[in-house]
Amino acid sequence: MRKQFEMAGERLERHNCQSWQEEDWLYFSCPDCGFTRKLNWKTGELALIHQGDSKALHSALHAPLMEHPQVENSN
């Protein structure tokens, strides 16, 4: 079965973020457009560092060592 990333009328680019951890923060950065955000895994605080391409769909995995696609779009 083919996965669909194109919604009606709007095409979303799909970017894969790289992630890493620095102390309490998990960083997610997109090498394609510069999108960067960080998540405090203790408090759940989310901070946007660089907006990057707002039209792109960014997927990031919390565990960079695991290759597990999480792109299910359940509507």
Q: Which residues are at the interface with Zn ion (CB under 5 A)?
A: 15, 30, 32-33, 35, 52, 56
The CB-of-12 to Zn ion minimum distance in angstroms stands at 11
For Zn ion, the closer of residues 24 and 34 by Cβ is 34
d(CA 45, CA 47): 7
For Zn ion, the closer of residues 25 and 56 by Cβ is 56
Mind spelling out the 3-state secondary structure of 17-64?
Answer: CEEEEECCEEEEECCCCCCEEEEECCCCCEEEEECCCCCEEEECCCCC
The CB-of-58 to Zn ion minimum distance in angstroms stands at 6
For Zn ion, the closer of residues 34 and 62 by Cβ is 34
Helix locations, 10-67, DSSP H: none
The CB-of-64 to Zn ion minimum distance in angstroms stands at 16
